Structure 1
Amino acid sequence: MTNEPRLIGRKKAAEYCGIAESTFSMWVATNKMPAAIAGTRKWDKRAIDAKLDEISGLTPSDKEDPYDKWIREHGDD
């Protein structure tokens, strides 16, 4: 198990994403990355991972209605 903290500052968050700190700041400002946790200057790595998954197309950005999903998966039987 790693001893690295789950919450990280802006510099570490940018490094974690492999981008410049200024780029990370721009991504936060444009909602491409999550904002810092309220009352802190720290980012949650899991929230960053979720946004990276979303912008990479690994997870849908809009949530499908459960009923519509069921209909799509089961058809109009």
Structure 2
Amino acid sequence: MRKLVLSEAPVTLQEIEEALAYVTYIVRKYGDAYLPVLRRLEHEVEAARQKESPGDRARRAQREAEARIQPRGMTRDDAAAYCSLSPAAWDRWVREGRMPPPVPGTHRWDRKAIDLAWDRLSGIAATEVDASEATVAEWRRSYRARNPTG
């Protein structure tokens, strides 16, 4: 039988928050029998947050804010990562027309245009063309007319 060895290091707020996320999932999936564990972890998170230094609290707030922000304009590397592609594969997909070119006059890709391209590739947009996709198609035509090599 394996012996459980507890770490001497104190449990961090991040570890408690991760445990809380797992237990929340368990409560949703298996029912209220696990609510006491959920309540205990909620209490632990609150206690740990009260012990945080102002600097740690500010850094945590900054991380949480950054996690919520999804910029509309993305760099080539960000756009490739967003699509789970390498930058080289991203470049190939853009050349092949699978993904849109960058916004004219920039080196940034529009998240919504990428989402529409994925919808088209996956067949979601195959049954109907909505106004936003028609707008993107018009933009692409005008972009290619202005930039024949792009």
Q: Same fold (TM over 0.5)?
A: yes
Note the aligned Cα RMSD (angstroms).
1.8
Other structure's SS at 1:35 match: coil
| Equivalent of residue 15 in structure 1, options 70, 81, 86 | 81
Contact 1:7 1:42 in 2 (8 A): yes
Structure with the bigger RCO (C-alpha within 8 Å, sep 6+) is 1
Q: Can you list the C-alpha shifts for 1:6-26, whole angstroms capped at 9, x where unaligned?
A: 100000000000011100000
1:62, distance to aligned residue in structure 2 (A): 7.6
In structure 1, list runs of 5 or more residues that go unmatched: 64-77
Note if contact 1:54-1:61 (Cα within 8 Å) is conserved in structure 2. Answer: no
TM-score (norm 2): 0.39
Change in Cα spacing, 1:30 to 1:58, as seen in structure 2 (3 Å) is same
Structure with higher helix content: 2
Checking the alignment, whether the CA contact within 8 Å between 1:8 and 1:42 is kept in structure 2 is: yes
Residue 27 of structure 1, aligned match among 93, 111, 117: 93
Larger CA Rg, structure 1 vs 2? 2
Which letter does structure 1 place at the counterpart of 2:74?
A: I
The normalised TM-score by structure 1 is 0.74
SS in 2 for 1:59: helix
Amino acid at match of 2:75: G
- The verdict on how the C-alpha distance between 1:61 and 1:14 changes in structure 2, with shifts beyond 3 A counting, is farther
